[in-house]
């Protein structure tokens, strides 16, 4: 294994022991898996390892492929923190814009999964020496265009590091696509061969894992390294991250209309805290995908981008997760979406009886399923112990610091065995400002009014 003894570990933050070990592991392997759990600092380890190889003259350019939601909030920001002396660029926008970034001299280029196919030709000619795929489960299916494009790219690019905290979490078959990219020589060529080695047929439509499936999966998903949050004792107990998500065109259109209307309402008028909070809630509802009209009706909007990000975070979570959602009808939307994608979930909100709520909490704490609780924070921010989860997803922010802190405390209490992650989903400027207010524990009427005025002045 390469030992980075002469490496200067650039950046404002120095590595923990497990991050050094991960960087050493990756830097000594052209193709490898990193299965470190979410919240263990995988991105920093990758950046340090790649920077070391650049310093040694072994690689020149790196292509980072990741979800749209973390291109800037995770990868670009971490590159600024851990390798500020390296150039990086985000390839996003229309095909011409992406191609220009790919053709630039940036040492690190960050692109989202589906953007790769748009500029496949440019990537093939882009002199990349290493591809890093974050949340690599997106490449588990060899029948997708996404996988086939990456296969073609890897025919010319020699290095590939695939990162995910949850390899083959739903089925042994999920390992096939990943293994074919990193370890093709030790993986069956066809999915049917692999399926026969890890699954057996119970009925015409039902297959179950064989007793040796875990060993087979372990064998094909090599070389690999893994650190769990619970073993990284020097990590902070709670890590706060954010996921950027674009409003859909429909949301964006009506957000701007609402914003313009509120500006007109505010022109020359006195804004009270109650009025400001009500209008902020309208913008938050629209960002989440469902707005309550003055008559009490619900108007739904396309929130597919945000729902996809929720699923991404859940799928990268090794243990269980809580999704906090302030608005009732949005809760129904999320529940339907999770059920559609076969993610076991239950809902805790003001409509649940005491008995139903108690039974749901018991199952969540003691049984394998549900994996996710979708919770209205106002209805469950006090008293409940939900330490089976180590990840909290804020689908949208609340306007109360007390509710925010109490909701986060559902997992941060006696009985919690893992380091915890709190994920803020951010799609609009009002959400960005509100999360900042919550994190800084600012909570009074004047701040709500000031937040509303800032929102009106700044646009979305």
Largest Cα–Cα distance of the chain, in whole Å? 72
Count of CB atoms situated within 10 Å of the CB of 179: 26
DSSP code per residue over 349-368:
STTS-HHHHHHHHHHHHHSS
Neighbour count for residue 150 (Cβ, 10 Å)? 26
Q: Tell me, what DSSP letter sits at residue 268?
A: T
The structure's pTM equals 0.79
**384, 359 contact by CB (below 8 A):** no
Q: Which residue has the tokens 């209490």?
A: 413
Are residue 161 and residue 289 in the same domain, yes or no? no
Q: How far apart are CA 260 and CA 251, in angstroms?
A: 14
Token code pair at residue 360: 């749901």
Q: Identify whether residues 426 and 396 lie together within a single domain.
A: yes
Residue 139 is classified by DSSP as: G
Mean pLDDT within 101-120: 97
Distance separating alpha carbons of residues 328 and 223, to the nearest angstrom: 46
The residue that leads in pLDDT, 132 or 202, is 132
More confident residue, 444 or 330: 330
Q: Are residues 242 and 198 in the same domain?
A: no
Inform me whether the pLDDT recorded for 272 exceeds 80: no
Task: Give the residue from 146, 126, 127, 123 showing the smallest Cα distance to 136.
Answer: 146
The crossing angle, in degrees rounded to 10, of helices 175-182 and 145-154 is 20
Distance of CA 38 to the CA centre of its chain: 9
- For the chain, percent of residues with pLDDT exceeding 70: 90
143-174 tens-digit pLDDT: 999 999 999 999 999 999 999 988 988 899 99
List, for residues 6-20, the tens digit of each pLDDT value.
788 887 778 888 999
Question: Are 189 and 136 part of one and the same domain?
Answer: yes
The model's pLDDT over 334-372, given as tens digits with 9 standing for 90+, comes to 999 999 999 999 999 888 777 888 898 899 999 999 999
One domain, residues 148 and 129: yes
CATH of the domain at 423: 3.40.50.300
Q: What is the structure's pLDDT at 12? A: 74
For the segment 382-397, the average pLDDT, to the nearest whole number, is 90
- State how beta strands 345-348 and 372-375 pair: parallel
- What does the pLDDT read at residue 276? 65
Say yes or no to pLDDT of 273 above 50.
Answer: no
Give the domain extent around 324.
Answer: 238-246+283-458
Q: What is the CATH number of the domain that holds 107?
A: 3.40.50.10810
Is 301 inside a domain boundary? yes
Count: domains in the chain? 2
Distance from C-alpha of 22 to C-alpha of 299, rounded to nearest angstrom: 48
252, two tokens:
């964006």
- Does residue 311 register a pLDDT over 90? yes
Q: Which residue in the block uniquely carries the two structure tokens 């941060």? A: 412
Q: What are phi and psi of 77, to 5 degrees?
A: -65, -40
Residue 6 lies in a domain: no
Per the prediction, the chain carries an average pLDDT of: 89
Alpha helices in 155-299 (DSSP H): 175-182, 191-198, 213-220, 249-266, 273-288
- Please say if the pLDDT value at position 176 is more than 60: yes
Residue 431 token pair: 């959400």
Question: Mean per-residue pLDDT for 203-227?
Answer: 93
pLDDT in tens, 89-107: 999 999 999 999 999 999 9
What is the rounded distance in angstroms from the CA atom of residue 126 to the CA atom of residue 102? 6
**Residue 102 zone, left/alpha/beta (φ > 0; ψ -120 to 50; rest):** alpha
Backbone angles phi, psi at 153, to 5 degrees: -65, -40
**Residue 264 domain-assigned?**
no
């Amino acid at each position: 294994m390469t030992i980075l003894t002469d490496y200067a570990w650039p950046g404002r933050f120095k590595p923990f022991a497990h991050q050094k070990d991960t960087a050493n592991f990756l830097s000594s392997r052209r193709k490898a898996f990193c299965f470190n759990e979410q919240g263990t600092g995988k991105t920093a380890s990758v950046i340090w390892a790649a920077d070391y190889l650049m310093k040694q003259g072994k690689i020149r350019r790196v292509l980072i492929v990741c979800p749209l939601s973390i291109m800037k909030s995770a990868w670009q920001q971490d590159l600024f923190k851990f390798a500020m002396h390296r150039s990086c660029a985000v390839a996003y926008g229309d095909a011409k814009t992406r191609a220009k970034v790919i053709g630039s001299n940036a040492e690190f280029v960050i692109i989202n999964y589906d953007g790769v196919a748009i500029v496949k030709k440019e990537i093939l000619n882009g002199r990349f020496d290493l591809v890093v795929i974050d949340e690599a489960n997106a490449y588990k299916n060899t029948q997708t265009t996404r996988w086939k494009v990456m296969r073609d790219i890897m025919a010319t690019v020699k290095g590939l590091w695939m990162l995910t905290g949850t390899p083959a979490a739903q089925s042994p078959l999920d390992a096939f696509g990943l293994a074919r990219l990193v370890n093709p020589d030790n993986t069956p060529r066809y999915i049917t061969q692999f399926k026969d080695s890890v699954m057996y047929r119970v009925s015409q439509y039902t297959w179950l894992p064989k007793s040796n499936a875990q060993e087979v999966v372990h064998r094909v998903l090599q070389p690999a390294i893994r650190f769990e949050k619970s073993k990284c004792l020097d990590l902070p107990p709670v890590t706060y991250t954010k996921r950027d998500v674009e409003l859909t065109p429909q949301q964006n259109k009506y957000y701007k209309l609402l914003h313009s209307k509120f500006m007109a309402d505010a022109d020359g008028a006195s804004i009270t805290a109650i009025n400001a909070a009500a209008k902020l809630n309208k913008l938050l509802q629209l960002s989440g995908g469902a707005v309550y009209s003055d008559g009490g009706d619900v108007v739904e909007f396309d929130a597919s981008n945000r729902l996809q990000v929720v699923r991404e975070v859940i799928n990268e979570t090794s243990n269980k997760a809580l999704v906090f959602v302030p608005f009732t009808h949005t809760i129904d939307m999320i529940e339907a979406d999770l059920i559609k994608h076969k993610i076991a979930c239950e809902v805790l909100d003001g409509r649940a009886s005491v008995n139903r709520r108690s039974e749901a909490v018991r199952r969540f704490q003691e049984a394998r399923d549900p994996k996710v609780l979708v919770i209205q924070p106002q209805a469950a921010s006090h008293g409940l112990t939900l330490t089976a989860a180590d990840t909290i997803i804020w689908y949208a922010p609340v306007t109360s610091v007390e509710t925010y802190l109490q909701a986060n405390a559902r997992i941060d209490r006696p009985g919690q065995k893992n380091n915890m992650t709190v994920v803020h989903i951010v799609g609009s400027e009002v959400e960005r400002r509100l999360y900042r207010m919550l994190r800084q524990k600012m909570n009074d009427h004047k701040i709500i009014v000031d937040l509303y005025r800032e929102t009106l002045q700044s646009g979305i």
